[in-house]
Chain A
Amino acid sequence: MFKEIIKGMAITLRYGLSRPITVQWPEEQKPATPRHRGRHILHRYYNGLEKCIGCELCAAACPVGCIYVGPAENDPLNPVSPGERYAKRYEINLMRCIFCGYCASACPTEAITLGPQCDFANYRRERTVLTKQELLEAWPKFERSRGDMNQRGAGADQRSTGKSLNPGPSPRLAWEAQADETHEAPLPGHGGIPVNVPGVIDPSEESRA
């Protein structure tokens, strides 16, 4: 019996002295695995055109109905995406999303993928509906903004820049204001959003900037 206690305590002692595997999140972050399914990214081609053609197949494939796509016709002289059609509105409700990745599988142009970011806690419900502005890769320096591929998964611009923190108009608010066409995303201090919006700040952001 005595032998067993020593044996057990030895294991405890060994783990007590070894380096802990717990990470002090969010100050410290672990790299995401390459096929991690976190927050969605809308990709661009290298010439800056959006890959998304607004076909709504992601919305059709989505088992929880969290994707809204509002397509529109491209201006041939100043196209947003190759071809005739693009997504004028693209919204994902992260509260509903179950991160199954069916949208990425359904996408005919590989425009949407699931990235590394997985922390979406927020104080404002409206902010959990991501708008196209937030989902889309930065441009023209989108390659750099993707960061280290190995460190950040297959992802793109998921660093929390000030710009991407602006919540887009919620569909309901936009509809009430009847201004979803021309409405700009309300900034803190406008549209009922408090001036000091608490946001989640990526600590690696400062070091990299």
Chain B
Amino acid sequence: MANKTTTPSSSEGLAEAEKVTVTIDGREVAVPRGSLVVDAASSLGIHIPIYCAHPKLDPVAVCRMCLVRVGKMPRLQPACATVVSDGMVVTTQSPEVAKVREGMLEFLLLNHPLDCPVCDRGGECDLQDFAVRYGPQTSRFPITQKSHAAKAVVLSDKIELDQERCILCWRCTRYYDEITGEKELVLVRRGIDTVIDSFNGEPLTSDFQGNLPEVCPVGALTHRQYRFQARPWDLQRTKGICPECSYGCNINIDARDFEIKRFASRDNPQVEDMWLCDRGRYSVEKWSHGSRVRHPLIRAGGEVREVGVDEAVAEAARQLGEVLRLHGGGAIGVIGSPMLTNEELWLLQRLARETLDCHNCDHQLDELGNVSADEHSLGIAEIEDCETVVVLGAEPEANTPVLTLRLHKAQLRRGVEVRRVEHDASPASLGIKGKRLVGVIADEVHRAYAADMADALASGNTLVKRLTVTRGVNGRGAKDMGMLPTQGPGYSRVTGGKDGRQILHAASAGAIKALLLVGAETVLRGAGILAEKALAKVDVIIAIEPRAGIVANAASVVIPGHTYFEKRGSVTNVEGRVQRVSPALPPATAAPQETRVLAMLAAALGATGWGTGDPFEVNTMLSQAIDAYRGAGNGGRALWKRQGEPR
């Protein structure tokens, strides 16, 4: 069980000083005042079985599984709800406690169906584990007299409920009360007939239902998407970052037979606080399907030829070199994608600016204007420290749904005032004055409004920090890496070029003669007919593309790319946190990773000093080039200098 912090993780130095000493099973430990006995025990490595207690939820002490002897109290006390006091003596291992645990488990198992073999939770079930560890070996209750309830109740298109397996720990109802603030699951009927059901039998509509099976300690709530897909021991677990938005939720990618079966949360209190949204969690299927580009292709005169990587790179360099010689770098357009890693984006802009002498590079289509590091100075966990948070428009929460949970937590636990306003709300009308720390959250299209708002609110003692929600998993990294038309790595000033849409317009008008597209399929699809026109007009299209599509079908040279889950590298989330990703699936192609292909391409174009294109090597190079990334490491935030503030 993860350490439960009764004091919020983001606050610094609070309650650090006050410690109390308790004795658990004869061993002394000093824990912060206000800790719970169960956490004090776990800091000593002593395990106390719990069902209803959850590190992110308030204690209720309904399951009675964690009863321990506390001092001279007349009865056993629930460890999950008892706060430690100085000099407390706790006994967790005695015949008395063992007998109570055995009795509790016998009660829990009275009507629990013995369908572990077909239960999706089998193998990672707390009831299974504790029954083996603390439970009675037999039951005195005849199996034929078990009372039965509804099985496989479909609560929504995402969640299935098995009322027989439920042990009534209330974790799911409390999750709705405390974490999302919605109330969709309720306890119905009383006594032995009590079951969990959706309110009025209506289907669940929450955007965060996928967390229910994870808070459920048994197999009562299960994912429909993961239903009977695998057993926990079949799964190969890889630490990763959710691919759906730029929030950077930490996930465990569970794969079986070269196929991703589910995304499970990996608790990072600084980012997602262990809660994922359904859009991210159930985006599993799209990674297992789709026709892939498996071999490098050269398309010439209506004929497509399968070639080796070396030949494809040489041909790409020849075609790009010719355009460069005849028309100059201004006739080349480079479009990346916010799905690429930092390493790839950094190499791509370097290839464009240094080798191809081209300033037309972008990672998306819209005109973003001037971007600066100031726009993401507010950390996600820092939201809880603000006094007021202003959210401009519905886009930030629509783009990164987990932000809603953080705002709710800040509101509920820390009393933060959350103001959801229109994009163009006037700062004066909000009436925010004399606050210490104010957060302004906007999406990247409306960043100018956020800047105005921040300028208007900042005064005297008020510190305003902004958070800009970017699109694409690495939208922030793409900007940090300088994959922008007017700004280079680290938001440095460079010679301006065309942005994404301008590149496509210029290409369809014939001004741009060559396109270098890396993973740009998703970006170009957003441009609709314009992209198709541009792709039809331009002769030299060099594409590094994982999937077949409009780009791979039009390109003169196609080099197979890798999907997000086949790569090594790092991605940066909305708040500038640099997190590593590593391959969860084997590559579908023998072609080397994009960083290597880009290095080969640069070498073929006559550039030197590019190294081998190994992602770690590129990472070292880019953190030397961009100051802020030097101290970020894996999981740290890139440290940007704030304007007018010495480092």
Interface, chain A (partner B; CB < 8 A): 53-57, 59-60, 71-73, 83-85, 108-109, 171, 175
Least Cβ–Cβ distance between A76 and chain B, in angstroms: 9
With an 8 A cutoff between CB atoms, is B227 at the interface?
Answer: yes
**CB pair B117 A108 closer than 8 Å:** yes
Cβ–Cβ < 8 Å partners of B115 in chain A:
83
Please name 7 further chain A to chain B contacts, defined as beta carbons within 8 Å, in addition to the given A55-B122, A84-B152, sorted by A numbering: A56-B234, A59-B234, A60-B233, A73-B227, A73-B228, A108-B117, A171-B257
Inter-subunit contact A55/B118 (CB<8 Å): yes
Check B353 for interface membership: any CB of A closer than 8 A.
Answer: no
Known contacts A56-B234, A57-B117, A73-B228: A84-B122 contact under CB 8 Å? no
Say yes or no: A55 contacts B257, CB within 8 Å. no
Cβ contact within 8 Å between A175 and B231: no
Smallest beta-carbon distance A156→chain B, Å: 22
6 A-B contacts, Cβ less than 8 Å apart? A56-B234, A71-B229, A71-B230, A84-B152, A85-B228, A175-B257
Docked-complex contact A85 and B231, CB < 8 angstroms = no
Which positions 3-23 of chain B face chain A at CB distance < 8 Å? Answer: none
Q: How close is A61's CB to chain B, nearest CB, in angstroms?
A: 11
Contacts of B117 in A (CB 8 A): 53, 55, 57, 85, 108-109
In the assembly, what is the distance between CA of A85 and CA of B231, in Å?
Answer: 13
Q: Which residues of chain B come closer than 8 Å to A171, judged between CB atoms?
A: 257
Tell whether, in the assembled complex, residue A56 and residue B151 are in contact, meaning their CB atoms are under 8 Å apart.
no
Establish whether residues A60 and B231, one from each chain, have CB atoms under 8 Å apart when the complex forms: yes
Say how far B430's CB is from chain A's closest CB, in angstroms. 52
Which residue in A59, A60, A84, A175 is a CB contact (below 8 Å) of B118?
Answer: A84
Q: Which of the four size classes fits the interface of chain B?
A: 10 to 19
- Number of A-B pairs whose CB atoms are under 8 Å? 35
B258 an interface residue at 8 Å Cβ cutoff? yes
CA distance in complex: A67, B514 (Å): 53
Q: Which residues of B contact A53 (CB under 8 A)?
A: 117-118
B141-167, CB < 8 A from A: 151-152
Tell me the complex Cα distance, A72–B152, Å: 14
Complex contacts, B229 vs chain A, CB 8 Å = 71
Contact A175 B228, CB 8 Å, known A56-B234, A60-B233: no
A108, B115: Cα distance in complex, Å: 10
B232: min CB distance to chain A, Å: 10
- The 8 A-B residue pairs whose C-beta atoms are closest, nearest first, are A55-B117, A85-B118, A71-B228, A56-B231, A108-B117, A85-B228, A73-B228, A53-B118
**Contact residues, B125-183 vs A (CB, 8 A):** 151-152
A72 in complex: contacting residue of B228, B231, B258, CB < 8 Å: B228
| Residues of the A chain whose Cβ atoms lie less than 8 Å from the Cβ of B230 | 71
Chain A: minimal CB distance from B208 (Å): 24
Please indicate the chain A residues that have their CB under 8 angstroms from the CB of B227 in the complex: 73
| Chain B residues near A85 (CB-CB < 8 A) | 117-118, 228
Among residues of B, the one whose C-beta sits closest to the C-beta of A85 is: B118
- Whole-angstrom CA separation of A109 from B117 in the bound complex: 10
Which A residues touch B118, using CB under 8 A? 53-55, 83-85
Contacts of A56 in B (CB 8 A): 231, 234
B258 cross-chain contacts in A, Cβ below 8 A = 175
Q: How distant is B159 from chain A, measured CB to nearest CB, in Å? A: 15
Q: Mark B104-117, 1 if CB is under 8 A from A, else 0.
A: 00000000000101
B234 to A84, Cβ gap below 8 A? no
A87's nearest neighbour on chain B, judged by CB, is: B228
A130 to B645, CA, bound (A): 70
**Cβ-defined partner of A84 (8 Å) among B151, B231, B233, B257:** B151
Please name all residues of chain B whose beta carbon is closer than 8 Å to the beta carbon of A73 when the two chains form the complex. 227-228
Cα distance A83–B113 in the bound complex, in angstroms: 12
| Binary CB contact string for chain B from 197 to 214 against chain A (1 if under 8 A, 0 otherwise) | 000000000000000000
Q: For the complex, what is the distance from the CA of A67 to the CA of B257, rounded to whole Å?
A: 13
Chain B residue nearest in CB terms to A60: B233
Q: Of residues A59, A71, A109, which shows the largest number of chain B Cβ atoms within 10 Å of its Cβ?
A: A71
B122 contacts across to A, CB distance below 8 A: 55
Bound Cα distance A171, B228 (Å): 19
A171 to B122, CA, bound (A): 25
Q: Which residues of chain A have C-beta atoms less than 8 A from B228's C-beta?
A: 54, 71-73, 84-85
CA–CA, A57 and B231, complex, Å? 9
Instruction: Chain B residues near A55: list those with CB within 8 A.
Output: 117-118, 122, 231
CB distance from A43 to the nearest CB of B (A): 16
Chain B residue numbers with a CB within 8 Å of A175 are 257-258
In whole angstroms, how far apart are the Cα atoms of A175 and B588 in the complex? Answer: 11
- Closest-CB distance, A106 to chain B (whole angstroms): 10
In whole angstroms, what is the CA distance A175 to B258 when docked?
A: 9
Cα A82 to Cα B11 with chains together (Å): 54
Which parts of B290-322 form the interface with A (CB within 8 Å)? Answer: none
Residues of B within 8 Å of A59, CB to CB, are 231, 234
Whole-angstrom distance between the alpha carbons of A56 and B258 in the complex? 18
B536 to chain A, nearest CB (A): 30
* Chain B nearest CB, measured from A175 CB (Å): 7
Shortest A135–chain B CB gap in Å is 19
Q: Please, which residues of chain A bring their CB within 8 A of the CB of B152?
A: 84
Give Cα A171–Cα B259 distance, bound, in whole angstroms: 13
Shortest C-beta distance, B125 to chain A (Å), equals 13
B 257-268 binary contact with A (CB < 8 Å = 1; else 0): 110000000000
A60 to B230, CA, bound (A): 12
The residue among B152, B228, B229, B258 with the most chain A CB atoms within 10 A of its own CB is: B228
Tell me the smallest distance from the CB of B91 to a CB of chain A, in Å: 36
Query: Please, which residue of chain A has its CB at the minimum distance from the CB of B259?
Result: A175
Q: Chain A's nearest CB lies how many Å from the CB of B235?
A: 12
In the complex, the chain B residue whose C-beta lies closest to that of A109 is B117
Closest residue on chain A to residue B224 by CB atoms: A73
Closest to B120 in A: A85
- Expressed in whole angstroms, the Cα–Cα distance for A54 and B227 within the complex equals 12
CA distance A71 to B122 in the complex (A): 14
B228 to A, closest residue via Cβ:
A71
Q: Which residues of A contact B257 (CB under 8 A)?
A: 171, 175
**Which chain B residues (537-551) contact chain A, with CB distance < 8 Å?**
none
Report how far A56 CA is from B117 CA in the complex, Å. Answer: 8
Q: How far is the CB of A110 from chain B (nearest CB, A)?
A: 12
State A53–B151 Cα separation when bound (angstroms). Answer: 16
For B234, list chain A residues within 8 Å (CB): 56, 59
Give the complex CA separation of A172 and B306 in angstroms: 23
Query: Once bound together, how far apart are the Cα atoms of A30 and B14, in whole Å?
Result: 81
Q: Which residues of B contact A54 (CB under 8 A)?
A: 118, 228
Expressed in whole angstroms, the Cα–Cα distance for A150 and B234 within the complex equals: 38
Interchain CA distance A73-B122 in the complex, whole Å:
16
